[in-house]
Amino acid sequence: MTTHQRLSYDEFVSLATADPAVVGLVLKGSRAHDGMATRRSDHDLYVVLADGAATGLARFTGHRSPELDLVVLPLDAFRAAGGHERYALARARVVLDRLDGGIARVLADKARLDADEAFTRAGDLLDAYANSLYRSVKNARDGQPLAARLDAADSVGFLLELLFTLDRRPRPYNNKYLRWELDRYPLPGWDTGGLLGAVDRIAATGDVRAQQRLFARVEAAVRGAGLGAVLDAWGDDLALMRPGRR
């Protein structure tokens, strides 16, 4: 349900805090990121209920207004939340925690990928990155500039996901959160300005040499992380991805 009922963030927090069915309140989005909120920023709030609890706050499920967006859900569903929401939860702020730190621990788990999960996912992402990079360079060579640019744009998306996964972190969204995250928590071994500059140039132009130079950095990083076999499976096609070949 979507509603524009007049209800401020502070009013709702007071209402929810007084309800014993509420075990946690979690603020996500720009209001949870230092220095990011503007006068147009709303408050995105998770309202976490004890499993099986009955509460009148259920009427606010799906509430949306220019000031306040609410997600009302039971604790089990909050623990299971992930996918697109994982980065939002990783940088969210605890407003209320009635579980002796249990809500904070859920957020901490969202912020850190399991080592085995990260290794497996990184291998898949590396292969996807290599595939898009290879196609981009090949299309540029074969006189297909639009296809080359589109594949280049795809490749940097996979690359960013790969680099964050190697650091066992969820990838931030492409908008202002990416720059915010990298400015405050740089990826190990990468200069933020250099990385974003290369990504910008590649996504905009499909510059083959820029792609190959970046790949050389990536190849060294992934081989150091134990993922060399993923690249070796590309055989002779690796030559097209490396600097000096077009």
Give 211-221 pLDDT, tens digit per residue: 999 999 999 99
Neighbours of 99 (CB within 10 A): 15
Q: The whole model's pTM is what?
A: 0.89
| CB 130 within 8 Å of CB 234 | yes
- Rounded mean pLDDT, 125-134: 98
- The confidence score (pLDDT) of residue 160 equals 97
> Residue 47 pLDDT more than 50?
yes
- The confidence score (pLDDT) of residue 175 equals 74
d(CA 153, CA 170): 20
> Residue 41 pLDDT more than 80?
no
Tokens of 205: 């132009």
- The confidence score (pLDDT) of residue 5 equals 57
- The confidence score (pLDDT) of residue 4 equals 45
pLDDT in tens, 91-106: 999 999 999 999 999 9
Burial of 143 (0-12, 13-18, 19+ CB in 10 A): exposed
d(CA 228, CA 139): 25
Contacts of 63 (CB under 8 A, 6+ apart): 1, 2, 3, 5, 7, 69, 70
- The confidence score (pLDDT) of residue 246 equals 56
Question: Mean pLDDT across the chain, nearest whole number?
Answer: 92
> Residue 72 pLDDT more than 90?
yes
> Residue 2 pLDDT more than 50?
no
| CB 83 within 8 Å of CB 58 | no
Residue count of the chain, please give it.
246
Q: 26-30, 78-82, 148-152: which has the highest mean pLDDT?
A: 148-152
pLDDT in tens, 183-210: 999 999 999 999 999 999 999 999 999 9
> Residue 35 pLDDT more than 80?
no
Tokens of 150: 């589109």
Residue 245 pLDDT level (bands cut at 50, 70, 90): low
- The confidence score (pLDDT) of residue 6 equals 73
